[in-house]
Amino acid sequence: NAGVTQTPKFQVLKTGQSMTLQCAQDMNHEYMSWYRQDPGMGLRLIHYSVGAGITDQGEVPNGYNVSRSTTEDFPLRLLSAAPSQTSVYFCASSYSTQGIYGYTFGSGTRLTVV
């Protein structure tokens, strides 16, 4: 199994540009989420989804959109990139939101906005 696959691994954007970070999982996990990690800090939740067609906001949702049309994919869209969005982005999935299940993380997308 590939697990959680994120693309691209690196990206440089100019301020105001838009882009989509891709996340795909092949484990039939219902729960998927996006985190950002700024240098020297812990992870903060951006958006999450408990199943296809259902999304909700996390701690820091402003400037980002998500959709979940399939179980496998959960793309994160930056509408108009800003330097404050320079960060490493991680996608994570879990079989369920119940606490008995662990999360699987992708390897991350390192985004720089200039």
Nearer to another protein, 74 or 108 (CB): 108
Phi, psi of 24 (to 5 degrees): -135, 140
Instruction: Kindly write out the interface string for residues 14-53 of this chain, putting x where it contacts another protein by CB under 8 A and - elsewhere.
Output: -------------------x-x-----xxxxx--x-x---
| 3-state secondary structure at position 85 | helix
Supply the minimum distance, in Å, between the C-beta of residue 56 and another protein.
9
CA-to-CA distance for 36 and 57, rounded, in angstroms?
Answer: 13
Of residues 48 through 107, those in contact with another protein by CB under 8 A are: 48, 50, 58, 90, 92, 94, 96-100, 102-107
Amino acid code (one letter) for 106: G
Dihedral sign for Cα 14, 59, 37, 54, please. negative
Supply the minimum distance, in Å, between the C-beta of residue 19 and another protein.
20
CA-to-CA distance for 71 and 49, rounded, in angstroms?
Answer: 10
Nearer to another protein, 33 or 87 (CB): 33
